[in-house]
Structure 1
């Protein structure tokens, strides 16, 4: 038996570690927007590097309200429990298209702007979705009247109206600036859950080429109007194969981050399908990400009211497994939902059955909150 040389052993261990790191960072990522701002490009590249360290935790509407409170300066249900803010803040543009002063969740756009600036100033990351109304019928985003998507394409009967809606977003996004007046980099997740069947832009309402045309047109329109601080997030609902994930995919030159949304509905102590399905989808998405050198994310997830005490360190971590994803975001803490007579929240509150487990989750080296994001200085080289 040959005795091991400690120097050789160290070198081999270092080489293996470096090789594993390099596999995820062998090519410097370039954004789909070739004119992206410096800080936007820097954020994107730093997000790639950070996937080797851990996963950023996000929460929708975190600073605006929580269970039994609204618009309290500096407050956050996540911070109430952990002493730290989430690293990623989710917000929605729904309502801009009809010139409303409030978004789809009832948050005044002026307040939302301030929250976005606050989160960014502390080192956090901003992501935007858009539950806009159906442009063909004027009904909400969940109206799946046939040909609604086709109507917004060039030459369609709703095209000019749709362009005016995009103009509203352009105007608003241009007001999202940091203290020095520079545009705040944003992870923009348009036409989310596109492989579902519940929004007017979903796959049941258009063929692949029509959807790709919509994506590319919207992206080009924003850039033509001078918007160069967006990182584009492709987002699906369920899919069962690589072919299905890519069927409506606009192409590697038009996407920066790959993601899907999936929620827990059944008791995880009796039904493991959430974990199994997430693992299946991450495996497929990871293959695409490696081929195209893209970042991955779990853009929306959660378990309403979190009735399982170990959901964070048991179920959610198992669902993600060992995949190198950039961030995971849970949905909003609306509180009591009168229409359905139940509590509606996805991040734990003080006294919640999963509060202790969420603190354990927070303390994991692999899970990153805002203090970790600030230390990483994601907007700097």
Structure 2
């Protein structure tokens, strides 16, 4: 009887963690998604009940005072482990550039993505594409820029050619068995902000929705990319109405998320309170729509707070079912900004010891523990 009880307890525990088929009816918006993409999505849903993946932008490419050293990572230098999710950006691929906006060669990026996937980590891609109407950067908020890429718009064909180039890159991301590597694709990110040409001051909600729906439809149905998990991403927001004002529809979104950073003039408690307020709204929306929730970008530039990881970030996340949280890149000293620009600690950085405590937290997953969970396989 004791053995039977142990077996039954084990089975019950597994059901609680992995969920039954009925409990996890979440399905991707792309009904033709690859089996690895479906498995990733379902496993992220299951894992979020107990865990949150920790991510870092450009982690393998460079860090503070180094670039392109095989196997190196500022995160790994501290905890002997890598992030559970790697963030990358495709900006400049629209111009056939060999390097992205941050100088990362696309050939390197492809290898980093393949390497992360092989070890069982997740991958997310954003795209700071240039302004197609003016030729300016993502931050050129000239009016009618977004309208110009819509069908019938003056730059629609230009935009289509950009999508072709991005699709070629994303379609080239293959595993060892030639399977398409699943990508959490985050287009038009921070779309409630006013600093990008697709933002609220340069476009209407209707225009954004049309651009979004065209983009997803083109990549899925014209370019046959069925390895994309689509991430809807806002900046900070005041209420549910504001968060959903530009929401393009459940059939073209799989993850709901937002970006929010702490700034030097902001009180720690105020930041935590704001994050928790917005995560509460996000969580309700995710449950209502049966979507994943994520804190897609966050951080505190140069991490001047020695206990930021365990006394700010952890309390902000506590109690919420989040698939992942990602901090931005470690660029080091940026001459044009005349300051240090990094969001993860490195050897000798003031928050290094606190980050080690953060790493030991059961809820936060890094690559080693995530790899054991085989997120690209059905369970």
TM over 0.5, yes or no? Answer: yes
Partner residue of 1:225? 223
Name the CA distance, whole Å, in 1 between partners of 2:51 and 2:265. Answer: 27
**Given that residues 53 and 366 in structure 1 are in contact (C-alpha distance below 8 angstroms), is that contact kept between their aligned partners in structure 2?**
yes
Aligned partner of 1:357 among 350, 354, 357: 354
Report how far residue 25 of structure 1 moved.
Answer: 7.8
**Given that residues 19 and 46 in structure 2 are in contact (C-alpha distance below 8 angstroms), is that contact kept between their aligned partners in structure 1?**
no
Aligned partner of 1:158 among 136, 155, 159: 155
Aligned partner of 1:50 among 43, 47, 50: 47
Q: Provide, for residues 317-374 of structure 1, a one-character-per-residue CA deviation record: whole Å limited to 9, x for no partner.
A: 1222210100000000000111222211111000111000000000111110001110
Partner residue of 1:109? 106
Name the CA distance, whole Å, in 1 between partners of 2:272 and 2:120. Answer: 31
Partner residue of 2:275? 278
- CA distance change for structure 1 residues 154 and 326 in 2, over 3 Å: closer, same or farther? same
Report how far residue 290 of structure 1 moved.
Answer: 1.1
Partner residue of 2:25? 28
Name the CA distance, whole Å, in 2 between partners of 1:211 and 1:148. Answer: 11
Query: What SS does structure 2 have at the residue aligned with 1:351?
Result: coil
- When the two chains are superposed, the root-mean-square deviation of aligned CA atoms in Å is 2.1
Query: What SS does structure 2 have at the residue aligned with 1:227?
Result: coil
Q: Provide, for residues 121-159 of structure 1, a one-character-per-residue CA deviation record: whole Å limited to 9, x for no partner.
A: 111111000000000001000000000000000000000
**Given that residues 64 and 346 in structure 2 are in contact (C-alpha distance below 8 angstroms), is that contact kept between their aligned partners in structure 1?**
yes
Name the CA distance, whole Å, in 2 between partners of 1:29 and 1:39. Answer: 15
Aligned partner of 2:249 among 228, 248, 251: 251
Query: What SS does structure 2 have at the residue aligned with 1:235?
Result: strand
Report how far residue 15 of structure 1 moved.
Answer: 9.3
Partner residue of 1:98? 95
Partner residue of 2:328? 331
Report how far residue 23 of structure 1 moved.
Answer: 11
* Structure 1, unaligned runs of 5 or more: 1-10
Report how far residue 226 of structure 1 moved.
Answer: 1.1
**Given that residues 81 and 368 in structure 2 are in contact (C-alpha distance below 8 angstroms), is that contact kept between their aligned partners in structure 1?**
yes
**Given that residues 30 and 226 in structure 2 are in contact (C-alpha distance below 8 angstroms), is that contact kept between their aligned partners in structure 1?**
yes
1:7-26 pair list within 5 angstroms: 26=23
Name the CA distance, whole Å, in 1 between partners of 2:12 and 2:165. Answer: 51
Q: Provide, for residues 276-333 of structure 1, a one-character-per-residue CA deviation record: whole Å limited to 9, x for no partner.
A: 1111111111111111111100000001111101100110012222101000000000
Name the CA distance, whole Å, in 2 between partners of 1:137 and 1:168. Answer: 19
Name the CA distance, whole Å, in 1 between partners of 2:96 and 2:88. Answer: 17
Q: After the TM superposition, which segments of 4 or more aligned residues of structure 1 sit over 2 Å from their partners?
A: 14-27
Name the CA distance, whole Å, in 2 between partners of 1:284 and 1:125. Answer: 25
Name the CA distance, whole Å, in 1 between partners of 2:116 and 2:229. Answer: 17
When normalised by structure 1's length, the TM-score is 0.93
Name the CA distance, whole Å, in 2 between partners of 1:25 and 1:123. Answer: 26
Name the CA distance, whole Å, in 2 between partners of 1:317 and 1:267. Answer: 20
Aligned partner of 2:304 among 303, 307, 329: 307
Partner residue of 1:378? 375
**Given that residues 345 and 352 in structure 2 are in contact (C-alpha distance below 8 angstroms), is that contact kept between their aligned partners in structure 1?**
yes
Name the CA distance, whole Å, in 1 between partners of 2:332 and 2:283. Answer: 35
Report how far residue 267 of structure 1 moved.
Answer: 5.8
Query: What SS does structure 2 have at the residue aligned with 1:184?
Result: coil
Partner residue of 2:295? 298
Query: What SS does structure 2 have at the residue aligned with 1:249?
Result: coil
Aligned partner of 2:184 among 172, 187, 190: 187
Query: What SS does structure 2 have at the residue aligned with 1:261?
Result: strand
* Structure 2, unaligned runs of 5 or more: 1-7
**Given that residues 21 and 52 in structure 1 are in contact (C-alpha distance below 8 angstroms), is that contact kept between their aligned partners in structure 2?**
no
Report how far residue 24 of structure 1 moved.
Answer: 12
Report how far residue 45 of structure 1 moved.
Answer: 0.2
Query: What SS does structure 1 have at the residue aligned with 2:314?
Result: helix
Query: What SS does structure 1 have at the residue aligned with 2:86?
Result: strand
Report how far residue 204 of structure 1 moved.
Answer: 1.8
- CA distance change for structure 1 residues 23 and 241 in 2, over 3 Å: closer, same or farther? farther
Q: Provide, for residues 196-251 of structure 1, a one-character-per-residue CA deviation record: whole Å limited to 9, x for no partner.
A: 00000112222211111111100010012111100000000011111111110011
